[in-house]
Amino acid sequence: MATTKPVIYVEWVDAVADAGWATNPKAEIHPCVTVGFLVDESKDALCIASTLSINDTNARMHIPKAWIKNKRRVVIETKQRKSKRKSVPAVGTGPDNNQVWTREG
């Protein structure tokens, strides 16, 4: 594939719908997490697809920006990038055995 779209991680809230009789219903929203290819963005919404092909996208989600709580780009590590990364000591070795290694992109 010649060009790829950026991959993003989005935390957002969704509306809840129900039907039928209820006594004292509670107002609620549902927290959601979506990861996918950012295929379009307007001032009001993001469009994220789960699948890309040469000219098309599939399984798109349109999320209103007002519902987004957090978003960040996901860094996909390539072989070239991995070869330039510093090696991390094996578990139980190294100067500080209690250190937790994490990586955010």
Domain assignment present for 104: no
Domain extent, residue 47, equals 7-18+27-75
**Residues whose CB is less than 8 angstroms from the CB of residue 75 and which lie 6 or more positions away in sequence, other chains included:** 105
The SS3 of residue 2 is coil
Domain assignment present for 84: no
Phi, psi of 28 (to 5 degrees): -150, 160
User: How confident is the model at residue 1, as a pLDDT?
Assistant: 47
Q: Are 60 and 45 in contact (CB under 8 A)?
A: no
Q: Which of 55, 42, 40, 43 has its CA nearest to residue 8?
A: 40
Domain assignment present for 94: no
Domain assignment present for 89: no
pTM of this prediction exceeds 0.85: no
Q: pLDDT per residue over 46-89, tens digit each?
A: 999 999 998 899 999 999 999 999 999 998 877 666 666 677 67
Domain assignment present for 44: yes
Number of domains present in the structure of the chain: 1
User: How confident is the model at residue 35, as a pLDDT?
Assistant: 96
